[in-house]
Amino acid sequence: MWTVTINVGIFLAMYKYRRHTILGHFIIGFAVAFITLLFTFPVLLQITTPSTPPKKRNHYIIGYVIVSDIFLQVVLGCLCKLLNLCKVPSVVLYCMNKVHYFLGYSMTILCKFQVYNYIDQDHVFWILLAQDCLFFIMAIIRKMFFSKFIINDIASKYKK
């Protein structure tokens, strides 16, 4: 879920000015968060961090950070959307959106690190890394070369 699916969710968020893409971002993000928490909580409750080997201990510590970040992301995302629907313009909403944005990327990087750290098969590692690199390149191209399309599309909505 944290390799291919979340990339689709992030790409949909790049088109957040369209109603259906932000709904897709919400559904994918919520599904990934729910499934992650569903499988993570039993593991986190059973294992004591200090008694595990160093590789696993680091995995669990990063897991604790990820779980708390997931909770914060879901709460911030829902609050931001609720405040947007209520048309509450404020500096707080702007800051919440920025925190959601940056924490989302940091959480994604941490989760991808967790996945890559435990992949045993070389071919799976390289396939997943290649798709992540391809997604990263597509996102940069989208931001650099097609940002004017977004501005023109939004401006054309207000001209009507």
Q: What is the pLDDT of residue 49?
A: 58
Provide the pLDDT for residue 134. Answer: 92
Q: 159 pLDDT exceeds 60? A: no
Q: Please provide the average confidence, as pLDDT, over all residues in the chain.
A: 80
pLDDT at 24 over 60: yes
On whether the CB atoms of residues 44 and 67 are closer than 8 A, the answer is yes
Quick: pLDDT tens for 64-115: 888 889 889 888 888 888 887 887 777 888 888 888 888 888 888 888 888 8
